[in-house]
Structure 1
Amino acid sequence: MAAPQLADLVLETSNAPGTGPIVLGGAPDGRQTFADAFPAGGEVYYYASDGQQTEWGVGTLTVGSPNTLARTTVLGNLFGTKTVLNFTQNITVWCEIPAARSPTLDGAGYLPLKNSPDFTQDVALGAKDADARYAKIADPLVRSLIVPDSDYLIDKIAVHKSNGRLWFHYIDKDGKEQYPEAALASDLDAVATAKQDKLGFTPVRQGGGAGQGTNVIYIGWANDGSNTLKCQVDVTDIGPIALVDKDCPVGSMILWPLVNPPAGWLVMNGSGFDTNMYKRLAGIFPNGLLPDWRGLFPRGYDPISRFDIDGGGRGIMTYQEGSVLFGEAGGNLASVDSLTPAKKQTIGWENNINPSFGAQGATKAGDGQINMTGNYIGISRPKNMNCQFIVRAL
């Protein structure tokens, strides 16, 4: 929408127009008529007064015999309303901009503009709207990109939202500012590609957010065919980044050589955990209790009892008591016999922590009891080194 027009020294008289259009009666010496200053059909600012009451607004000029000015939009009057006044006497009508439509500077000398303008109209654009919509000062990353086939450093990039074209800003060899328009937004990819061989991977962003330093951070897929994600901070190569969710999902168990687990991991010691904090871990252990792996060896799950004779009746992650083979030296092993907790403690199998836990043993045929003082051999545990079983919780 075009703004109402203004012109200098426009003033005419009119005979008692009432509340209707103003029939323009001509200009006095030294002034010009509305028809002299404006085209037919144009919208103009006007003031009209009979000496007692005054009205102002936007009028539409019709050039003819006579010329008339329709009172299209009343912006105000001396009575504080926007009502068309009833002029019953002769009036003077002239062109002047109302104070409400007059641009004024703020205390800092800037001209404030309306926020969130209609981008489909030919209107002025405020600095904040322009900054958010069209142009940004580039990251130091972009400042370091070399324009292909030149030695110029790109300083700024602007993107036109309607067509996606880019404008690059740089200083040429003569010290002059240049704003060449790129053919397509994809031209920026070509610039980044020129940097690709130097980095070994594509740079994507800079640090400096909340709680961050001002280091320049590069993250991208390695171009050496290894399909690894790499990271570089400034000039320091951090190396590959582990994709934890992909390579080590929540619930994964690993051996850990220290007493305390790393962040996001818990020790498998039978303790409870916060199911609200560790929601995905709670999907695996809904009761909020971790299995107790202290002092235990893992065994492969065997639901078809191929190697574990008790496997068919055991669920996943269930406890199984240990077993020991005893036999007379030089003799043959025979039937399986029960080892009571007391016998286990006697032979040093384990401390009698839980009196309900027994074990299985094999003895010579016909010998219903194990003679702990006889010429017997047995194996109660393999050589071992203790460590922590930990589970990923986050």
Structure 2
Amino acid sequence: MAGVSSVATPSSSSSSPTAFVPTAGQGLISSSTGIVSGLQTQQIISALLTFDQEPVTSLNNQITSEQNQQSAFSTLSSQLAALQADAQQLASFSVLGARSASSSNPSALTASASAGAPLASYLVTPVAQAQTQALLSNGFSDSSNTPVGQGTITIKLGGFVAPSTSLQPLNGGLGVARGKISITDRSGASATIDLGSARTIDDVVNDINQTAGIHVQASLSGNSLVITDKSGSTADNLIVQDVAGGTTAASLGIVGSVAANTLTGTDLVSLSGSTQLSSLNDNNGVASAPGVADFTVTLKDGSSFAVQLGSAKTLQDVLTAINGNSQNGGKLTASISGTHLVLTDNTGGAGTLSVTALNG
């Protein structure tokens, strides 16, 4: 076994160290630091730096997370603000009540809808193409001497239904229900007539007279339709009735069953509160001056009050303007009777009830 020996060199300022040279069988022990030590210095330093950096990295990660949350909250806040603005509009009638209308054939018919219009679909069937028409008489040199020419002028007292009269203003402005009617002549033959496209009294008369399979003739007499049997038979009654629960014949005033050759309908001309003023006086309407009184009513007791029709559109508006006048006080009652507007003086005076126009 090899031995180990060491030589101590005395400390002396005047002597030099003696080198140790191992002899055969002897070993050498040496010490060193740094790279020569064999330790993984770089890895140790990196590990120590990484360990020291971990709190910083954790803090940076936390900051990033907080910033992401802050950004998410900002986005959510913006979206909630937009939702709140949209929700507030739901309370607005102008939004929920908005309506639009469209036509399947804009070249033939256009449509528009106002706010609050009912939701519905309508089928419009053209029955006739509009045509330009103008009637022009010859010129006259004077208005009192030159004869008009040959022809017939008919003057009647009271109202009457002309063939061109629209169905809409009939029955006190309620019009005529469109639908089908059934007519049975006195021979027992019957036919169903579709009046769904009729617009005027003339359309009704023509549709009845052009119906095949029955022998009847429709005409006008005063304010009524007249159905006349032409079959020459007396085997059955002349019958006019509605079809499938409709009310067309009833609104035309010709529902009935008679053991005679003629069925005369009821009066089609009447007034009601819903009658439009524009339909009166041969559709010339009622003249009214805005902002001023239109006529004065003088009662039998000598008192009087002025009436302003203002924006009156119907006969009911006229009744309200008269009966509700602050100066009336129940002295005068306005009402409708058949085809007339009736004024009843309630004062009991001995004078004369009169109405004076103020605007011509």
Structure 1-normalised TM-score? 0.20
Larger Rg: 2
Please identify which structure carries the higher helix content: 2
Structure 2-normalised TM-score? 0.21
Please identify which structure carries the higher strand content: 1
